[in-house]
Structure 1
Amino acid sequence: MATRSKPAPQPAESKPAKGVRVRPVPAVTRSIAILRLLGEHKQPLTLKTVAEALHLVPSTCLHILRVLVAEDLVTLDPGTKRYALGTGMISLARSVLEGGGFTQLVQPVLDRLAAQFGVTAMGVEITARQTVMVLALSRSSQPFRVHTDVGSQFDTLVSATGRLIAAYSGETWPSLKEKFAQVVWDKSPTFTGWKKEVELTRSRGWSLDRDNFMAGITVVAVPVFAPGGRLVHTLVVVGLSSQMGAAVVQQLAQVMQREAADLARLLGGS
């Protein structure tokens, strides 16, 4: 995992958890789609642009935008009639980041990893939308730093975290092969080679991506299991491949596994 974040997908119903029936609520789904669309673009958008991008009836889109503006989640420039995300989104994001739980507990862990090994360290969540999101990070004091931001999203099976997801998801190989084919790599591994790495990940409890997602970059990831043994979070470190030989990676993985086990216990997992 490094700098290539994944654009938010077009609105679609999320797959509910097994045994849970979720009734579609179009207004909610469309509101969230509008917020995601505005978040993807650097420049404010017109009503027409938003409606066309999301295949919405303009009048319906306008009604939703007016509600979002009233709630300070979206702003409207009266002069240009363009919409952008509002400051209300900052308050919501701050509530998530400062609300305790994994994000709060993982930060000192990331700081220790970054300082000890001279890497960029990240706390990652596997979202219900089947993307990988950076919740917290710590950068080293080294001249080289991998640039990413809190809130960046990536393909589910990408890089080292992707191998963890494949190892612990319980999905069939045919299903994983379809998803694997959609991942964008700098140097794509073969599916056969990637499958062997996933099996190795399952046996040793940590994963490695060396130069696949991004040339010259090595990524190590370990799982942080939630109650019931679910894989919801991972610890990820990123560094230059030239500085992360086999011995360093092995030592790093062992330290990360100890930290992940402590985090899991604090979070009530295993």
Structure 2
Amino acid sequence: MTGEDKKSTTKRQVPAVTRALAILRFLARSNEPVGVNPIARELGLIPSTCLHILRVLEEEGLVEFDSNLKRYTMGIGILPLARAALQRNTFSVLIQPKLSDLSARFGVTGIATQLSEPGQMVVIALSQSNIPFRLQVDLGSRFPALISATGRLFAAFNVQDETELANRFQKLTWDHPPTFENWREEVKSARELGYAVDQGSYISGVTVVAVPVFGANHTMTRSIVAIGISERLKEKQIPKLVKAMMAIREDIENMQIDTGR
């Protein structure tokens, strides 16, 4: 095969891969099974093309087809891939025991998130608190990168365009939505302080504290997050919690340097 043939083959293959990934991501966000036409319409695909890709994904076990409803949903074949990715994610492996310690010390749900697809953060490690009432967060849960405390950090360190910020902000769903102006001030504060707090804006009665973890070019690629019931997580505890979370970040960074990863 010549260089030109290789280049041509690559060009022909990329759209199919991109469309398959878009379908998988769409189904991952859907709470219910979805038919071919709604998927195609949402993703701007020709229905016959969408159906062909879905059938290939079904054969590979990555999606499942309900013959009664004529609809598709995510398949369990994705689980081994996700499990392997997490097992090979050095950050998630190193931080897991530290999240457990954080949860025990402060009575919070500790999670670690990582930027995955554009505009989405995914939970890659978590530890539930041992208090009687706790928040349910699942491994692999996704949420908009700009939402809650993590979102303020993402806006502070990753997004500079004001128009883009405003447009993406309008699409967010909050229990008690802040104004864009107030949110921007909180983003500015997060940049200066190096952490962010959401007290009941995202979820009523819930306080979310987040610390950024940086990748190349000082952009935020991951975050360490603590989630607690506002009545239990008093404001005076937050500085101690933040200090503990920053210490975890420093420990992880040193461990990764030591192991050469």
TM over 0.5: yes
1:151 maps to which of 125, 129, 140:
140
Q: Distance in 1 between matches of 2:52 and 2:243?
A: 53
1:90 alignment partner in structure 2: 79
Runs of 4+ in 1 over 6 A off after TM superposition: none
Shift of 1:139: 0.4
Query: Does 1:245 find its partner at 2:234?
Result: yes
The one-letter code matched in structure 2 to 1:31 is A
The one-letter code matched in structure 2 to 1:119 is V
Shift of 1:226: 2.4
Q: What secondary structure sits across from 2:168 in the alignment?
A: helix
Gaps of 5+ in 2: 1-9
Identity of aligned residues (%): 40
Question: Compared with structure 1, are the counterparts of its residues 52 and 103 closer, same or farther at alpha carbon in structure 2 (3 Å cutoff)?
Answer: same
2:207 alignment partner in structure 1: 218
Shift of 1:224: 1.3
Gaps of 5+ in 1: 1-21
Bigger RCO (CA 8 Å, 6+ sep) = 1
Shift of 1:195: 2.2
TM-score of the pair, normalised by structure 2: 0.84
In the TM superposition, 1:183-194 aligns within 5 A as: 183-194=172-183
1:179 maps to which of 144, 147, 168:
168
Question: Compared with structure 1, are the counterparts of its residues 57 and 229 closer, same or farther at alpha carbon in structure 2 (3 Å cutoff)?
Answer: closer
1:125 maps to which of 114, 129, 144:
114
Question: Compared with structure 1, are the counterparts of its residues 170 and 266 closer, same or farther at alpha carbon in structure 2 (3 Å cutoff)?
Answer: farther
Shift of 1:263: 1.6
Q: What secondary structure sits across from 1:243 in the alignment?
A: coil
C-alpha contact (below 8 Å) 2:211/2:224 kept by paired residues: yes
1:4 alignment partner in structure 2: none
Q: Which has the higher helix share?
A: 2
Query: Does 1:134 find its partner at 2:123?
Result: yes
The one-letter code matched in structure 2 to 1:186 is D
Moved more, 145-154 or 42-51: 42-51
C-alpha contact (below 8 Å) 1:123/1:233 kept by paired residues: yes
